[in-house]
Amino acid sequence: MADRPDPQAQAGHNAPGLSLHVPEPKFRPGDAVDFSHVDVGEPGKQPRPDETCAPDTMHDLAYGLVRVLGDDNRAHGPWDPKLDPETLRTMLGHMAMTRAFDERMFRGQRQGKTSFYMKCTGEEATSVAASMALASDDMVFPSYRQQGILIQRGYPLIEMINQIYSNRGDKLKGRQLPIMYSSREHSFFSISGNLATQTPQAVGWAMASAIKGDTRIAATWVGEGSTAEGDFHSACLFATVYNAPVILNVINNQWAISSFSGFAGAERTTFAARALGYGLAGLRVDGNDPLACYAAEQWAANRARANAGPTLIEFFTYRAEGHSTSDDPSGYRSATEREEWPLGDPVMRLKKHLIEIGEWDEERQEKMDLEAAEHVKKVTKEAEANGILGHGLHHPFRTMFEDVFEELPWHLKEQAEQAIHERETKFPGGLPNEGKGA
């Protein structure tokens, strides 16, 4: 058998060797932070095209940044949604409540009352403002940092806390990781711990809505890191092929749990620009500008309802806190990034805007924050009466075999009987501190 030719010899010995590029964030712990490379553009300068425009005319909007609020705390340009002051105050209230809820639940996890929690500090506008632009019965397919949607839609806080504590009041019966809520009544699809699974589900739901001739649209939220999952790309393809009435919201908060957005492709292009290759409408939006978030989501919702097609929105924001209570961001990023982030804080920006137009003041803001904190504290105490982590107040043991099949198959009946028998044998008087009926 003849020797195979040497590729190196064929290419020539003087050819340079190949090298692998590994993305690297600009700042690591201890580094000085300089975000001057981030081009945020000027508020009000971005054009607002007709909601039925062709996607290939939106190139600049996928690479620029839609902004409304300026450094003067006033609204500028064609993307200003011109919301009345009462709506703006309602929006601010929902964001304040979301922040107060996060703070209380974070402390609860540190006190051992639950195993896990995820805050959305700095990203409240991407859920609260965006969801306010949707109809209350539009189906949302969230990721795990969109608690603001439930708060905006009026879902009882006690139900959220019961789920976080996995106690006997938990409607999901302790079967979901804390913060993975679900509410059919609030058109809030069950959160999944598997990344990006909600994106094709949202597209499929939207396709079904179109098939039925319904008027409801779907919207889904996904982190920029999750756009590297195959499910996201399948969702984009199906959305554009079938013209699904869906909004694909990408929350680019710069960081996954410990890897920066470059590993999802941010070094090469924007996440909104991915829309162009699929034939989707693409918008890149200041995710810390509540008015811009509302306007972009409203534009995409109107487009979907007009049967003009789906939209991919990149909300350019920043994860101010750790990925979760299991994460310590000081181990992989500079501690000064949060303060140096050029787009500020969404709650502060909306507050300053309301003050600037004469519809708010610092005293009322302090009162709102205090009332939100006190309300969350009160409801938390009520939820804790249903039990906290490890205190035995949980759903009856038998329920672990329920709700999967309409009729329990024979093999699960046998397993249930065996498990209950072993439990009664080992603990004839019941588990210590066990809730009634368990």
> What are phi and psi for residue 278, nearest 5 degrees?
-90, -10
Q: What is the pLDDT of residue 6?
A: 64
Q: Which of 143, 21, 62, 111 is nearest to 325 (CA)?
A: 111
C-beta separation of 236 from 275 below 8 A: yes
Place of tokens 């062709």: 54
Q: Within a domain: residue 105?
A: yes
Encode pLDDT of 113-128 as tens digits. 999 999 999 999 999 9
Q: What is the pLDDT of residue 424?
A: 87
* DSSP symbols for 117-150: ----TT-HHHHHHHHHTS-TTSEEE--TT-HHHH
Percent of the chain having pLDDT more than 70?
95
Neighbours of 228 (CB within 10 A): 15
> What are phi and psi for residue 196, nearest 5 degrees?
75, 0
Residue 365 domain boundaries = 55-384
Q: What is the pLDDT of residue 431?
A: 64
Q: Within a domain: residue 41?
A: no
Q: Within a domain: residue 19?
A: no
pTM of the full predicted structure?
A: 0.93
Which amino acid appears at position 200 of this protein?
Answer: P
Q: What is the pLDDT of residue 436?
A: 46
C-beta separation of 314 from 271 below 8 A: yes
Q: Within a domain: residue 39?
A: no
Q: What is the pLDDT of residue 83?
A: 98
| Count of domains forming the chain | 1
Q: Within a domain: residue 337?
A: yes
Q: Which residues of the chain have pLDDT under 70?
A: 1-12, 431-438
Query: Using DSSP, how many helices (H) and how many strands (E) does the chain show?
Result: 14, 5
| CATH number reported for the structural domain that contains residue 82 in this entry | 3.40.50.970
Q: Within a domain: residue 286?
A: yes
Q: What is the pLDDT of residue 14?
A: 85
Q: What is the pLDDT of residue 229?
A: 96
Q: Within a domain: residue 274?
A: yes
Encode pLDDT of 146-174 as tens digits. 999 999 999 999 999 999 999 999 999 99
- Measured CA to CA in angstroms, residue 238 lies from 57, 231, 360 at distances of 21, 11, 45
Q: What is the pLDDT of residue 398?
A: 78
Q: Within a domain: residue 177?
A: yes
Q: What is the pLDDT of residue 301?
A: 98
- 237 sits in which H/E element: helix 230-241
